Structure 1
Amino acid sequence: MKLEQGHAAIVTGGASGLGHASVVALAEAGFKVAIFDINTDESPAKADAIGGTFHHVDITDEQSVVDGFEAARAAHGQERVTVHCAMTSKRGKTIGWDKEAGRYKKLPTEDYAFGAEGVLVSSFRIASHSALGMANSEPVTADGERGAIILTASVAAQDGQIGQVIYGSCKSGVNGLVLPMARDLMDLGIRVNSIMPGIFATPLMLGMKDRNPQMWDQLNASVPFPKRLGHPEEFASLVLEIVRNGYINGHQFRLDGAIRMPPK
């Protein structure tokens, strides 16, 4: 898709980390960007800074998502790019030791369902609502492209570690959405891809730098090359290339400095 001035984009989780880097990159490329986030403290200012809009959207709530898309389209028109970075999940081993009870306990099914909603179901929710809007709009390229949807998976989708049975399997499910959804939407000219980031220097990870500098150094050293955590801007750079290159479709990209996660 040619990055033309004035096209609209939506980024979930756009107030921080990978999402915010994507917001900035898309805005610099000429897109009118709408930030979907639950963070109401910093999001409005960050949206103002890039000439975009902020919409309080809970990705686990259907009506909240519907309202967010309606508001974003009223402000900017039909989005041609959607980048889904927001998520929520829980941790826990399938079977773990309960110290108080002195016996093993299983991961509550409710915890798994919470993660499935916050990672996998929300990815389908955002992608499908965006695809519907794109489908009912005119193509924007000679190939008949109507838009591009980029989901965020994780290296945990392939290298799920101990305690990541929820996160790893649900992120694997996000990758599993890509090809069948891309084929569902092929006649409509809508592309679907995912990115699997490795360990990135998001605000959550940067907090470790001061709290546990030894662990921070170990994390950096664990990346084969370059020996550092990824920069959010590098994630955003891949987002832009996926948007630009209309032949990229139905693919899952690892972006990880060649890291392969150990069991723990």
Structure 2
Amino acid sequence: MDWHDLQSEEKILDLSWLMIFVGIVVYCLLKLGINAGYGRYTNTARFGLSPGIAWFIQEAPSFFIPFICIFRSKTNSGLFLNVLFCIHYFNRALIFPFRIRSKTVSPLYIMLSAIFFCCYNGFIQGTWNALYQPEEDYWFFYIIVKFYYNLFERNYIFCSAVFFIGMFINHRADDILLNLRRPGETGYKIPRGFLYEYISCPNYYGEIVEWIGYAIAARSVPAVAFAIFTFCNIGPRAFSHHAWYLEKFPEYPKDRKALIPFVC
């Protein structure tokens, strides 16, 4: 199999369906109580890196691969979707890692598996958007000009709003977590404020909302596969975190839900 064959529409679709299958497997494993060994679930690692460096290395492919694909875009729709993708991962790969204060070593196997996934997902999202995403009847900025006519005919404004609302929730929740500890402090605290008054993991909730918006905008198998995988991967973690908070902190608010406000 050569590089051009790997970039074919058929192969990208096959890789996307495989992602959905793997996501379902991951979901089942997490629901069985098997947690990935990082963060609060980290065991003492013999080999590993500081979390900031590990996070930068593992997330970087999710930014740089679609960024390169921007310049190969055949349609404005595909270009727009890759720009959305890169906006998220610009923060996730190039800003967020350098704000992490945790001293817990990130296990090497976790970092390597994350590198593989970010290369895999960055490749299928970036390639599909650049080469196979169909052109809409109009471009995003044209929608703004013709807002009154096109708002319900096409969904870019709505989906972009969902994407950026999810991103805002994700970033705001991360900010609260990153600032829980003062310099030199260790251990865990109960997060307060914002959506933490309603759910234990608004950072996960925001990210799921974000990629749902992206998937609805794209209406492609790769985008939907990533949204499904995101839910399968971090949805169960939200419930694990919620149970962990309840066990660790007797005073933890009993009316908080795990992932979706007022629901579950």
Fold match (TM-score > 0.5): no
Please give the TM-score of this superposition, normalised by the length of structure 2: 0.28
Q: Which structure shows the bigger proportion of residues in helix conformation?
A: 2
TM-score, scaled relative to structure 1: 0.28
Q: Which has the higher strand share?
A: 1
Greater relative contact order: 1 or 2 (C-alpha under 8 angstroms, separation 6 or more)? 2
